[in-house]
């Protein structure tokens, strides 16, 4: 049974609402080490849904789902990228060779700090204030949500894209749309541009929605307590 808006709103909590004053990143770091705050465990046992930061519900809460924003943490294929200024905006995009420019284009690696090489084919970095990532046609990137989501022990969540993006050929997840009871972390959006135009990805843009299904009972082992839960406390 899918939860309606009234039930979602009744269950929603931010970390401060349950007495946790640490940053979402600090809380996720604890969870990734299986150091689960007691107040969080109690809240999830009670069926409360944690979303932090809490969005404006007048805008983000739909009839049976809640919208989510793009965050700043980005995982991209290991392809040549550059930073350029276009119309007073800082844009990160595929490297463009322009012989008229006498090769003055500067690569992302020359200008950006905090780039992490995940493996031979992917790298990770955070978009800084004022930066935009230009997603070319055919490319997939992984980008975390702005909000942390903690799913109670008697619910399952499903991630969907928003129709305004879908109509332009943009997908927000490939196959991993289900989140188990007890998942707690930033959600990874697998964004792929299947349209005919490049897409600017801007932190804070509403791009996905999350709905919740009621389970028949509380699960025996919530995801954040499961051994080998690879994405528990994802941040």
For the annotated catalytic residues, the residue numbers are 190
pLDDT tens digits in sequence order for the chain, 235 residues long: 999 999 999 999 999 999 999 999 999 999 988 899 999 999 999 999 999 999 999 999 999 999 999 999 999 998 888 888 888 888 999 888 777 765 555 666 666 767 888 888 899 999 988 899 999 999 999 999 999 999 999 999 999 988 888 888 899 888 778 899 999 999 999 999 999 999 999 999 999 999 999 999 999 999 999 887 666 667 6
CA pair distance 80, 92, nearest whole angstrom? 11
- The domain that holds 221 is classified in CATH as 2.70.40.10
Query: 41: closest CA among 147, 152, 149, 125?
Result: 152
Q: Strands 89-94 and 131-135: what pairing?
A: parallel
Q: Enumerate residues 6+ apart whose C-beta is below 8 A from 10.
A: none
Query: 235: closest CA among 41, 29, 33, 76?
Result: 29
Provide the domain limits for residue 186. 1-235
CA pair distance 41, 33, nearest whole angstrom? 15
User: C-alpha distances in angstroms, 125 versus 117, 130, 163, 173?
Assistant: 9, 15, 28, 20
Q: Enumerate residues 6+ apart whose C-beta is below 8 A from 113.
A: none
Number of domains in the chain: 1
224 touches 32 (CB < 8 A): no
């Amino acid at each position: 049974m899918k939860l309606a808006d009234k039930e979602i709103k009744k269950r929603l909590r931010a970390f401060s609402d349950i007495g946790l004053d640490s940053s979402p990143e600090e809380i996720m770091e604890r969870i990734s080490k299986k150091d689960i705050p007691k107040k969080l465990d109690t809240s999830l046992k009670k069926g409360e849904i944690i979303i932090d930061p809490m969005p404006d519900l007048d805008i983000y809460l739909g009839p049976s789902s809640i919208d989510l924003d793009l965050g700043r943490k980005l995982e991209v294929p290991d392809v040549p990228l550059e930073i350029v200024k276009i119309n007073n905006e800082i844009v990160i995009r595929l490297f463009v060779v322009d012989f008229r420019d006498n090769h003055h284009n500067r690569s992302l690696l020359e200008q950006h700090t905090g780039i992490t090489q995940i493996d031979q084919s992917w790298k990770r970095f955070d978009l800084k204030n004022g930066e935009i990532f230009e997603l070319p046609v055919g490319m997939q990137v992984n980008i975390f949500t702005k909000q942390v989501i903690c799913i109670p022990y008697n619910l399952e969540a499903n991630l969907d894209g928003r129709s305004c993006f879908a109509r332009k050929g943009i997908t927000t997840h490939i196959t991993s749309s289900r989140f188990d009871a007890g998942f707690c972390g930033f959600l990874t959006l697998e964004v792929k541009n299947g349209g005919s135009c490049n897409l600017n990805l801007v932190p804070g843009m509403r791009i996905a929605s999350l709905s919740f299904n009621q389970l028949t009972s509380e699960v025996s082992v919530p995801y954040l307590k499961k051994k080998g839960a690879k994405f528990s406390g994802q941040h």
